[in-house]
Amino acid sequence: MAKRKRSKKVARRKAKMVSSPKSFYVKRKIRVTINNLLLFIIFSLVSFVLYKLIAIDVNEFLNSLFLVMAMVFGFVSAAFLIVLIVLIILKFVKKK
């Protein structure tokens, strides 16, 4: 039986990835974190205002719902604030 001819594997050079400056990624992460922080602060404030407005009415379910939503959005915005502080500290540490 005849052997099949196989093409020789040519060793390809791995293309070097052009590395962008790390500061670009940090700036982008900071921008995304600030946007998310502002978004959840707005959600938290709207939920709190609706909680206070619904408190006038008798509907307990909506009152409880908006209170829980305000608390959850408040905690998430606090988490984004902590992430923002950490990213800013990392940015200043990497500069040195």
Global confidence as pTM: 0.69
As a whole number of angstroms, the distance between CA 30 and CA 80 comes to 10
Indicate whether 13 belongs to any domain.
Answer: no
pLDDT by residue, tens only, the chain of 96 residues: 667 777 766 666 665 555 456 667 888 999 999 999 999 999 999 999 988 888 776 688 888 899 999 999 999 999 999 999 999 998 888 877
Domain count of the chain? Answer: 1
H-type helices in 2-59, by residue range?
22-54
Indicate whether 18 belongs to any domain.
Answer: no
Determine the structural domain holding residue 91 and report its residue range.
Answer: 26-95
Indicate whether 52 belongs to any domain.
Answer: yes
Indicate whether 42 belongs to any domain.
Answer: yes
Q: At what angle do helices 22-54 and 60-95 cross, to 10 degrees?
A: 160
